[in-house]
Amino acid sequence: MELVSASLLLLLCLCCILLASAWQSRGQRGQLPPGPTPLPVLGNFLQLDRANVIHTLVKLYNSFPGILKKIPGPHHMGSKYAKQIISFISERIKMQQATLDLNAPQNFIDCFLVKMEQEKQNPATEFSQENLVMATFNLFFAGTETVSTTLRYGFLLLLKHPRVQEKIHREIDAVIGRDRAPTAEDRGRMPYTDATLHEIQRFSDILPMSLPHTVTRDTRFRGYLIPQGTYVCPLLSTVHFDPEEHQSPEAFAPERFLSENGSFKKQNAFLPFSAGKRVCLGEGLARMELFLFFTTVLQRFALSSPVDPQRLSLVPDVSNFGKVPPRYQLCLRQR
């Protein structure tokens, strides 16, 4: 009994020392930004959104892959599909290596292979087979999901706002016509379509958070201390739905990107691709793809809904690190 009492007393003293040390450290370093208080060992685990456990499992899998590989569950599916895509990319690279013409590269893989050949004597080169596979994987993953999700949201918004679609049809007919395919150069002559695409990106807000940044040194911001090593995630939603920057931000209104004379007007509070050194490297490609896919579909088809447009919901099916539009039915009528 005395041994148990002594152990409890020792444990209590240890806890008091740790709490006093943490309190003293916090007092010396300054006030931390407001936020949920973590529990010992558990941290903020109990405060996570339980409706999106899969995202928590992905983060845990990346942190402790050796442990989670032994635990059954859906977290294995992402790794399985990623391996299948990487295998496909590797086979494609082998095919293009066999037919590569160093003087006439045809695509991204060819250009990378040419650079690999030019720097094969450089031991510090970044142009390696492994980096080619991962760069292609990143282009495939980042460029496919975001563009397709934005288009799905865009078509849903056109169903909800048929007058916007009518204006785009008139602009397409006036600038492009129906006898040729749209080109990237047409965008500069189609301010309303361009404004609509910008408003689709702002309103859909498919990536509410940008990529994480790490604070490289203790930083004071507005009286708060952000300790070195802290992960900081810019919240792009706060920009896109800021009422001080956008009048009626909850409303879908392409006109907010148009000037009084109808020309396209840039907005500073528009950051779907983030900003600064961590801006999306594929921004130019994504803008071009969105314009070409969007105008090509609307050049050939009129979109309609089999149900009353007022009954269509804009609430995303998934809303956490990314937003996925709700399922809906779409009718295409050839123009």
Share the mean pLDDT of the chain. 83
Q: Are residues 245 and 227 in the same domain?
A: yes
Domain boundary among 127, 153, 171: 127
Q: In which band, very low, low, confident or very high, does the pLDDT at 144 lie, cut at 50, 70 and 90? A: confident
Whether 273 is covered by a domain: the verdict is: yes
Mean pLDDT is highest, among 30-44, 205-219, 236-250, for 236-250
pLDDT reported for residue 280: 81
pLDDT reported for residue 64: 57
CATH number at residue 141: 1.10.630.10
Q: Are residues 106 and 180 in the same domain?
A: no
Q: Please answer whether residues 108 and 282 qualify as being in contact, where contact means their C-beta atoms are separated by less than 8 angstroms.
A: no
pLDDT reading at 116 higher than 60: yes
Whether 19 is covered by a domain: the verdict is: no
Q: In which band, very low, low, confident or very high, does the pLDDT at 68 lie, cut at 50, 70 and 90? A: low
Whether 61 is covered by a domain: the verdict is: yes
Mean pLDDT, rounded, for 264-271: 92
Choose among 157, 118, 92: nearest CA to 312. 157
pLDDT reading at 76 higher than 90: no
Which range has the worst mean pLDDT, 160-174, 205-219, 240-254? 205-219
pLDDT reading at 20 higher than 70: no
Q: Are residues 114 and 162 in the same domain?
A: no
- Give exposure, 267-284, as e/b (b: 16+ Cβ within 10 Å): bebbbbbbeeeeebebee
Whether 17 is covered by a domain: the verdict is: no
Q: Please answer whether residues 113 and 132 qualify as being in contact, where contact means their C-beta atoms are separated by less than 8 angstroms.
A: yes
pLDDT reported for residue 48: 59
pLDDT reported for residue 232: 85
Whether 28 is covered by a domain: the verdict is: no
Q: Which residues contact 32 (CB under 8 A, 6 or more apart)?
A: 26, 224, 225, 226, 227
Q: In which band, very low, low, confident or very high, does the pLDDT at 137 lie, cut at 50, 70 and 90? A: confident
Q: In which band, very low, low, confident or very high, does the pLDDT at 24 lie, cut at 50, 70 and 90? A: low
The structure tokens listed for 121 are 């004597």
Q: Are residues 156 and 286 in the same domain?
A: yes
pTM summary value: 0.69
Whether 73 is covered by a domain: the verdict is: yes
Name residue 215's amino acid: V
Domain boundary among 101, 127, 153: 127
The 8 Å CB, 24+ separation contacts for 184-188 are: 184/288, 184/291, 184/292, 186/291, 186/295, 187/291
Whether 33 is covered by a domain: the verdict is: no
Q: Are residues 277 and 162 in the same domain?
A: yes
Whether 308 is covered by a domain: the verdict is: yes
Q: In which band, very low, low, confident or very high, does the pLDDT at 334 lie, cut at 50, 70 and 90? A: very high
Q: Which residues contact 116 (CB under 8 A, 6 or more apart)?
A: 125, 127, 128, 129, 132
pLDDT reading at 240 higher than 50: yes
Mean pLDDT, rounded, for 302-316: 91
Mean pLDDT, rounded, for 205-223: 87
Q: Are residues 60 and 141 in the same domain?
A: no
Q: In which band, very low, low, confident or very high, does the pLDDT at 6 lie, cut at 50, 70 and 90? A: low
Residue 109: domain span: 54-127
Count: domains in the chain: 2
Mean pLDDT, rounded, for 175-180: 94
pLDDT reading at 62 higher than 80: no
15 is in an annotated binding site: no
pLDDT reading at 55 higher than 80: no
Q: In which band, very low, low, confident or very high, does the pLDDT at 54 lie, cut at 50, 70 and 90? A: very low
The 8 Å CB, 24+ separation contacts for 161-170 are: 161/252, 161/309, 162/304, 162/309, 164/196, 164/252, 164/254, 165/298, 165/302, 165/303, 167/192, 168/192, 168/193, 168/196, 168/295, 168/298, 169/298, 169/302, 169/335
pLDDT reading at 192 higher than 70: yes
Q: Are residues 123 and 153 in the same domain?
A: no
Q: Are residues 173 and 109 in the same domain?
A: no
Q: Are residues 309 and 291 in the same domain?
A: yes
Q: Are residues 189 and 207 in the same domain?
A: yes
Q: Are residues 259 and 335 in the same domain?
A: yes
Domain boundary among 79, 106, 127: 127
Mean pLDDT, rounded, for 233-259: 92
Q: Are residues 329 and 286 in the same domain?
A: yes
Positive or negative, the Cα torsion across 292, 296, 302, 308? negative
225 vs 63 pLDDT, higher one: 225
